[in-house]
Amino acid sequence: MNLKQLEVFLAVAESCSFSRAAEKSFLTQSTVSQHIFSLENEFALKLFDRTGKGALLTEAGRLLLLHTRRVIAEAGQIPIILNRFKGLEEALLRLGGSNIPGSYMIPDFLPYFQRKHPGVTIILSQGDSRETIERLKREEVELAILGSRFYGEEHVYTPVTVDKIELVVNSGHRWNRTEKISLEDLIDESFIFREPGSGTDRTVRAALTAAGFAVEKLNCKIFLGSNEAVKQAIRSGAGISFLSRMSVKNECEQGELRMVKIEGLNISRHIYLATLQGRELSPAAKAFSALITDHYLAEEEREEA
């Protein structure tokens, strides 16, 4: 069974005539008969009674007519739907975001994207960097924005922006008004870390090790699963932590938290846009990729100016 056979069946059913259906379909009468014969043969059911009054539907034919009209109507909508999709008038985009991009970057960028493409519906799934790349591999999301790069032939990574990681303390901490501390000063403090698997955690550990500081020296007894939980624990005096600058910008401006410089240590990482190797992106995904890259490039240029 194919769509053309159903279109011919509908023409015969509505005209009660093989000859008139042939004229309407721009086919020969024998071709119309062949299409109907194929349908009857496939289902082993008679669809028309050939009578002196014309081709009349059998009960099986009436049932098929009911569903054929629905199928033909739906098929007629396909070009409209796909053209809307192509023109971003009506599209669904599934994104994956690790904790920092998912909580801060993407929400900040969405109003700008929606002004450009109001017909795109966005669904964002969040998790740590490892969870996010796994969602991409399973094709649960089309694009992933994350703060870590996992090496493998199946991924393509495009740098979007640079995320700076800072040591963060609360307003009552003894370093609140200190401009700079040493690496050794960290040993006496209580630390709060993100859960293993987060991009921030991996970046901080790698940077401390590269600076010649043994991470094992840190007094860390608290591991929390989200950036917001870490910030709240800092506010309450449970300890200090390394956090993304973009995640604490508002709290630092309001005086709730403070970023403290460490002599000889600058921690930063790229935020990447990840896609699957060899997969064609939808028009919505292409538009999102281009706009978010240009948006943050322009932002970096403004900060440097």
CATH number of the domain within which 176 lies: 3.40.190.290
Weakest mean pLDDT among 80-84, 131-135, 235-239: 80-84
Give me the pLDDT at residue 296, please.
86
Residue whose C-alpha is closest to residue 237's, from 166, 176, 164: 176
End-to-end CA distance of the chain: 65
One domain for residues 112 and 136: yes
Return d(Cα 43, Cα 3) in angstroms, integer. Answer: 15
Give me the pLDDT at residue 1, please.
87
- Give the count of beta carbons closer than 10 Å to the beta carbon of residue 100: 27
Residue whose C-alpha is closest to residue 100's, from 155, 163, 168, 169: 163
**CATH code for the domain of 54:** 1.10.10.10
* Reported pTM: 0.67
Name the percent of the chain lying above pLDDT 70: 95
Give me the pLDDT at residue 300, please.
64
One domain for residues 233 and 96: no
| 304 pLDDT above the threshold of 70 | no
One domain for residues 60 and 130: no
| 124 pLDDT above the threshold of 90 | yes
One domain for residues 143 and 291: yes
Among 86, 108, 143, which residue terminates a domain?
86
Torsion of CA 255, 211, 233, 150, to 10 degrees: 110
Q: Give the chain's length.
A: 305
Distances (CA, A) of 180 to 175, 192, 193, 207: 9, 20, 21, 17
Average pLDDT, the chain: 89
Among 60, 86, 112, which residue terminates a domain?
86
Q: Are 17 and 8 in contact (CB under 8 A)?
A: no
Name the percent of the chain lying above pLDDT 90: 63
One domain for residues 135 and 208: no
| 110 pLDDT above the threshold of 90 | yes
Among 32, 59, 86, which residue terminates a domain?
86
One domain for residues 199 and 143: no
Reported as a pLDDT band with limits 50, 70 and 90, residue 84 is low
Cα-atom radius of gyration of the chain, to the nearest Å?
Answer: 31
One domain for residues 35 and 172: no
**Which residues constitute the domain of residue 130?**
91-152+275-304
Greater confidence (11 vs 305) lies with 11
pLDDT in tens, 264-287: 899 999 999 999 998 889 899 999
One domain for residues 75 and 15: yes
CA atoms within 13 A on the CB side of 146: 31
Q: Are 167 and 206 in contact (CB under 8 A)?
A: no
Domains contained in the chain, number? 3
Contacts (Cβ under 8 Å, ≥6 apart) of 49: 55, 56, 57, 58
One domain for residues 285 and 147: yes
One domain for residues 246 and 291: no
Q: Are 143 and 285 in contact (CB under 8 A)?
A: yes
Torsion of CA 9, 10, 16, 19, to 10 degrees: -60
Beta bridge mates, 121: 92
pLDDT in tens, 178-188: 889 999 999 98
